Chains A and B, each alone.
Chain A
Amino acid sequence: MERAWRNWYLIPYAAWLVLFVIAPLVFLVYESFLDIDGQWTLANYEKVLTPIYLKMMAYSFWYALLITLASLLIGYPTAYWLTKTRHKQLWLLLLILPMWVNLLLKVYAFLGLFGTYGLANAFLQAIGVGARQLLFTDFSFVFVSVYIFIPFMVLPIFNALEELPPSLIDAARDLGASGWTTFRRVVFPLTLSGVKAGCQAVFIPALSLFMITRLIAGNRVITLGTAIEQHFLVTQDWGMGATIAVVLMIAMAVIVFLTGSGRKEGSR
């Protein structure tokens, strides 16, 4: 009886899973084998392997990598500093707060900030650098993406740092290690699980960004995400869009598989 009841509770979730995860996936894979007139074909997959799409893929990976690296370089020291400050909870809240704001809203905010007459240019002018074209550049694209993804990098690293027993740092210092050596040989290796989790949480969504590419980068940066959007909404070539999506998902799965699922390795 007990068991039977427990299984009943799973029904809403199972239904959700089937309707909104499994069915769309099956549909997506099915669609990727159809051409624009609804005929069976492998042409979509052949097209994905042409230089245009390969280049697009390379770009996507390159930008995702850049965004992940920048997030890591800013996120790790931030997380480290967070573990040391007095009002941890407050700072943590401030860090998480922007995550609750809608993505589109944040992007529009940056349109204002980075615009020709925006705050950023006013500042550049004030310090004597002079106004620049900020929007629709690679830089602004990476900058805004990093801004949006940084909490996803900081939180897992912060947790890993919090779990690190402080006596290990004492031990390293006791054995003659300087602050930097202690970081390199003890702190960083033991928080690697957090770094991995953070990189996954940034890299994978960064691969399929599309909104920011259009609004901030003005479609100068064409990533796979943009391509999918264009095929579904503009060219109406659903087959091609589905194929790119399938390829992207396979790539993501491979990345998750190769980097491990974040936990278990590393600490303990």
Chain B
Amino acid sequence: MNGQAIIRFDHVTKEYDGTAVLDDVSFEMERGKFYTLLGPSGCGKTTILRLIAGFIEPTQGTIYFHGKPMNHVPPNKRQVNTVFQDYALFPHLDVFENVAFGLRVKKMKEADVRQKVKEALRFVNLEGYERRRIQEMSGGQRQRVAIARAIVNEPEVLLLDEPLSALDLKLRTEMQYELRELQRRLGITFIFVTHDQEEALAMSDYIFVLHKGKIQQFGTPKEIYDEPVNRFVADFIGESNILSGRMIADFLVEFAGRQFACVDRGFAPNEPVDVVIRPEDLELAAPEDSQIVIRVDSLLFRGVHYEICGYDENGNEWLVHSTKKAEVGETIGLRFEPEAIHVMRAERRKGDEGWNEHGETGI
């Protein structure tokens, strides 16, 4: 569309032995933004990165860099660097030589190589590790070497394939901040792959939610969290209550055997819908003063809140996050605001497969 897009996928399909792993995917990415590809294992995240890096070619469709078709350009001719899922560090080279690899290939002067590698290692807090062998580095350190090895080449786009998955929680949170910081300082486009929705929400400018080779939704973390377009996204992006219902009219929806005021409109009268209510949007109240009445089935203390699970009179399961405690077997009421109700078009289900075409945003 405009000249701003650094990467564009135009109806890209990738098949292996006749099975589409990516199915007619189109999108654009801008310079200097942090994008996340989010989805369950096997949904095609790595495949998208490999297409961008140039290790594989699309079966159909075209990939553009700065408006130029790039399908047949080999990886070494692309201004793109990758942090691999398994790091792919060279075991026969030490830390310094791993990071210097790209610079040496470009035949950069020795003094400049030293300077740049030093800077890159400082960036990832690995000063003093220059002469270590890769085998002597921990998982977290290896991954930082992999990041240094990529950014030292000053690529226009950095691809990161689940780089944090091997780290413990503390280091992981730390690295999330560092990566975000790094992206801001470098001002280059990051394409980050993860299957951890919290990580995606915390780090990204934009998120692509993928499922079975299709983009389910594209948007900012807030949009994805607040306005999931279908059951899959709502479910994947966080714990939620998802109920089947019916849109009576604009601003009026029916589910769990009752009608509720809501803020959604633009559906056909009586159109079947899925309704999402986040557990933290539910408030405990006296049964007579509430919209839904449930019988508490189980209770878990989660530190910040209690996780209450119960069933209403129609047998729907309800998950509530509350700072107030309830007793198992007790009957309690739930209250929520009209804004807490997110209405989505229901997917036509063929068995359990296939999400409907509304579920996809072509962008």
Chain A residues packing against B (C-beta within 8 Å):
165, 167-168, 170-178, 181, 185-186, 189-190, 266-268
Contact = CB atoms under 8 A, between A and B. Distances in A.
Contacts of B80: 174
A176 B88 contact: no
B88 A167 contact: yes
Contact of B106 (A174, A176, A185, A190): A176
Interface residues of B, number: 24
A268 B91 contact: yes
A167 B75 CA distance: 13
A266 B84 CA distance: 22
Given A167-B84, A167-B86, A268-B135, A175 B102 contact: yes
A17 to B, nearest CB: 36
A177 B105 contact: yes
B149 A175 contact: yes
B91 A176 contact: no
24 contacts: A165-B88, A167-B84, A167-B86, A167-B88, A170-B53, A171-B84, A171-B88, A171-B89, A172-B90, A173-B54, A174-B76, A174-B81, A174-B82, A175-B101, A175-B153, A176-B102, A176-B105, A177-B76, A177-B101, A181-B105, A185-B101, A185-B105, A186-B90, A189-B92
A174 B56 CA distance: 12
A17 B76 CA distance: 55
Nearest to B75: A173
Interface in B134-170: 135, 149, 153
B177 interface: no
Contacts of B153: 175-176
B55 interface: yes
A178 B91 contact: no
B84 A170 contact: yes
Contacts of A175: 76, 81, 101-102, 105, 149, 153
A202 B124 CA distance: 47
A168 B106 contact: no
B92 A266 contact: yes
B101 A165 contact: no
Contacts of B92: 189-190, 266-267
B74 interface: yes
B45 to A, nearest CB: 16
A168 B90 contact: yes
Contacts of B89: 171
The 5 closest A-B pairs by CB, nearest first: A175-B102, A171-B88, A167-B88, A173-B75, A176-B105
